[in-house]
Structure formats: structure tokens, C-alpha cells
A and B are shown apart, each in its own frame.
Chain A
Amino acid sequence: GEDVEQSLFLSVREGDSSVINCTYTDSSSTYLYWYKQEPGAGLQLLTYIFSNMDMKQDQRLTVLLNKKDKHLSLRIADTQTGDSAIYFCAESISGNQFYFGTGTSLTVIP
């Protein structure tokens, strides 16, 4: 599969901003996605960005896309303990397949 890489762990203090990073390898990606997975649950779609966009904001979430560097980031403003979860980035290239990163485990410290 395609290489979609994420750092494994991130810890932040409650109220701070969290930035979760992702790099991908295929420049023909059409959409890039962020999912959240809480313990014992499936993945929940948080947001997605079309590959011709640079930024998308949705309430506390900001997605930045740097196509030149093939770098995607998810910023969570005013991080809360309920944001503790595993966050996956994913890319959709062509056809009907998605490629997921390995996930970043976010821990929010009260």
C-alpha cells in the first residue's frame, strides 16, 4: 500500500492546541481525511480536505495541506480531555481504495 506516516504519540495539556502531523507519498491523492477513534469504537470521520485546497477550518479543527511537501496536519484548538483518542489520517487516490496512516495516540493531560 501507499506510505502514510504519522508519529505514534502526542501529549498536550488541557486548553493547549494539539497539532497532529501526517505525510503521504502519492501526489495524485484526491481527498485527504482525518478520523478519530475512541477506545473500543470504530473510526469517526472528523473532516476531510480536497487536494486542491490549502486549508479547511471546522470549529476547533483546522486542517492544513502542503502539497509540495506532501504534508497534512490537524490542529485542535483548546484541546479537551474528551479529545484523547487515536487520530488517523487517510488518503484517497483513485478507484475505491483508501490508505490509512498508523494512527497518532493523543493524550490530553488535565
Chain B
Amino acid sequence: DAGITQSPRHKVTETGTPVTLRCHQTENHRYMYWYRQDPGHGLRLIHYSYGVKDTDKGEVSDGYSVSRSKTEDFLLTLESATSSQTSVYFCAISASGGLQPQHFGDGTRLSIL
């Protein structure tokens, strides 16, 4: 299995608080992605990174920011969490972007009350 660790695995927080999710990889892959999974929507891309300090928006980026200061770490931040951001968040990695299958972490279940 690809070495991808997401932390925390579960989090409950209140509306309006900041939240940061971490994805750590040991594969030295260039591309990293954050998805959210919601019933009836499958997986939707939030942000992705194609290198250190290189990031871009995905399909549902509003309300989220990301940072990648090292190859192995990709952080997802909710600046002011809202109940609509309650979801399961998955990190994925890829050696060469769209031409290579992605490998996924085990997910972070985030509940915003």
C-alpha cells in the first residue's frame, strides 16, 4: 500500500472555528490532492498540488485553502468551518498527475456542529 497518512482520522468541531487537516506521504510523489466525499456526489476535488508551493483549485474550492511547504506534506485548512463542510475528506497522491493512477489515504471524518 502507498504510504499515505491522514490526520486526524476523526474530528468534531463548531461552526466558525478554523480546522486544518494534514496529509503526509512517504512515496515522494509530486502530485497531491484533497477530495471530499458526500452522499450522492461521489468524490469532488477541492485543491491539488503539483509541487512544493504549487497549488491550484479544484471543483469545490470555496471556503478551503491549502499549503505545501514540503514534498511530503499537504495541508487543507477550513478558515471558518461551516456545517456544509461536514464530510469525509480524502487525500490522494500521484507520481505523474493525470497519467498515473492515484492512491488514497484512509480519510478524515469531519463533523461541524
Contact = CB atoms under 8 A, between A and B. Distances in A.
Which one of A1, A42, A93, A97 has the highest number of Cβ atoms from chain B below 10 Å of its Cβ? A42
A101 B41 CA distance: 8
Interface of A: 1, 4, 30-31, 33, 35, 40-45, 48, 88, 92-98, 100-103
Contacts, number: 60
Given A96-B31, A97-B48, A45 B101 contact: yes
B101 A33 contact: yes
Contact of A96 (B41, B48, B107): B48
B106 interface: yes
Contact of A1 (B44, B50, B94, B107): B44
A103 B42 contact: yes
A48 B90 CA distance: 20
Interface string B45-75: 1001010000000110000000000000000
A93 B59 contact: no
B34 interface: no
A103 B90 CA distance: 15
